[in-house]
């Protein structure tokens, strides 16, 4: 996966991301935090700026001093970006539902089948490459954003979450780490596998989806939302992965490409039960007041996934 090479800073997409990236490259001052309140909360400029600020907590960037990770002035800017994004999510994706109803809605069939169904029925290698390039922003660090929540849980919730994460990180075997398996998938499709290689190609909708994970994971007050997000991912993964495995096979993408999704068909069917019975129930037994946050994490994830689906299907339909 090119683990020894730091990703390079991306091209900016507007004044916020331009000033932030320019500052990290030692070319200009940080943006004014107030400017975040005028930006499109789902737009390229804000989402790229937020992604770059979060990436300092993951692998960082080539030539950028690690001390920027906790620089107070940069964190002030990041907080303004987060507030703009989180306010929009609460406005657009909050729901007054019991958690069991929110989970049940995840299993309702999507009209038209969504991206996995399109790729299974119509996907060419070009479609698959475009899809994988977008998903690489997450899958090359798969499960990393969710690890932030572990110190914020206890008892059954912590043990269940750790059990699922252990599988995501390969069960102690480096060649089975899911991020590594995704890199193998990318290689089968003729794509480059370096971490962060396709950041410039990531659309705003994909950036927002990954930023939602980081936002929930990096704030203890949002630990319930992270658990809800994680439940949404695990519950929807197995049926979607089955369709994607068939799409890879149908298009002749290669054995590693097919294997990545077949691995998730089996693993995530088990993970779903652990997340339901141990993580969510354990957390609610300890902190019942977090139910509304768990539901918010579920609905916010569905909202962001729907935006990405609409973007991809609109492009392919055109």
* 218 and 85 inside one domain: no
CATH of the domain at 160: 1.20.910.10
**Among the three residues 91, 115, 141, which one is the final residue of a domain in this structure?**
91
Whether residue 98 contacts residue 302, with contact meaning beta carbons closer than 8 Å, is answered with no
> Above 60 in pLDDT, residue 78?
yes
- The whole domain housing 222 covers 97-317
* 169 and 129 inside one domain: yes
Look at residue 4 in the predicted model and tell me its pLDDT: 52
Backbone dihedral angles phi then psi of residue 73, each to the nearest 5 degrees: -70, -40
Look at residue 268 in the predicted model and tell me its pLDDT: 73
3-class SS of residue 199: helix
100 CA to centre of own chain: 23
2 lies in some domain = no
Whether residue 41 contacts residue 234, with contact meaning beta carbons closer than 8 Å, is answered with no
Instruction: From residue 94, give the alpha-carbon distance in Å to each of 90, 106, 109, 276, 301.
Output: 5, 15, 21, 20, 11
> Above 60 in pLDDT, residue 284?
yes
pTM above 0.85, yes or no: yes
* 58 and 176 inside one domain: no
> Above 70 in pLDDT, residue 1?
no
**Among the three residues 40, 69, 91, which one is the final residue of a domain in this structure?**
91
* 246 and 146 inside one domain: yes
* 161 and 28 inside one domain: no
- Per-residue pLDDT of 138-195, as tens digits, reads 999 999 999 999 999 999 999 999 999 999 999 999 999 999 999 999 999 999 999 9
Placement of tokens 């019991």 in the chain? 98
* Residue closest to 231 by CA, chosen among 307, 184, 284: 284
* 146 and 275 inside one domain: yes
Q: CB-based burial of residue 252 (10 Å sphere; 0-12 exposed, 13-18 middle, 19+ buried)?
A: exposed
Neighbours of 276 (CB within 10 A): 17
* 57 and 101 inside one domain: no
**Among the three residues 65, 91, 117, which one is the final residue of a domain in this structure?**
91
Number of domains in the chain: 2
107 lies in some domain = yes
């Amino acid at each position: 996966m090119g683990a020894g090479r730091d990703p390079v800073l991306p091209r900016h997409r507007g004044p916020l991301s331009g000033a932030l990236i320019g500052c990290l490259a030692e070319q200009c001052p940080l943006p004014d935090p107030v400017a975040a309140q005028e930006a499109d909360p789902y737009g390229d400029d804000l989402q790229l700026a937020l992604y770059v600020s979060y990436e300092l907590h993951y692998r960082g960037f080539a030539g950028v001093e690690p001390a920027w990770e906790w620089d107070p002035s940069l964190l002030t800017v990041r907080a303004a970006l987060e507030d703009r994004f989180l306010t929009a999510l609460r406005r657009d994706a909050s729901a007054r539902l019991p958690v069991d109803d929110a989970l049940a809605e995840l299993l309702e069939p999507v009209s038209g089948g969504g991206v996995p169904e399109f790729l299974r029925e119509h996907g060419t290698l070009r479609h698959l490459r475009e899809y994988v390039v977008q998903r690489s922003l997450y899958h090359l660090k798969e499960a990393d954003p969710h690890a932030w929540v572990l110190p914020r849980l206890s008892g059954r919730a912590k043990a269940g979450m750790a059990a699922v994460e252990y599988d995501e990180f390969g069960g102690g075997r480096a060649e089975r780490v899911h991020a590594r398996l995704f890199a193998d998938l990318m290689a089968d499709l003729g794509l480059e596998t370096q971490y962060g290689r396709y950041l410039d190609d990531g659309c705003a909708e994909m950036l927002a989806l990954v930023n939602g994970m980081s936002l929930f994971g990096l704030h203890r007050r949002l630990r319930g939302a992270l658990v809800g997000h994680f439940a949404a991912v695990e519950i929807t993964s197995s049926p979607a992965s089955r369709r994607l495995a068939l799409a890879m096979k149908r298009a002749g993408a290669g054995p590693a490409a097919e294997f990545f999704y077949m691995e998730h068909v089996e693993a995530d069917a088990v993970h779903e039960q652990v997340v339901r019975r141990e993580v969510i129930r354990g957390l609610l037994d300890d902190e019942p007041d977090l139910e509304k946050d768990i539901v918010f994490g579920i609905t916010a994830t569905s909202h962001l996934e729907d935006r990405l689906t609409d973007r991809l299907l609109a492009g392919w339909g055109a």
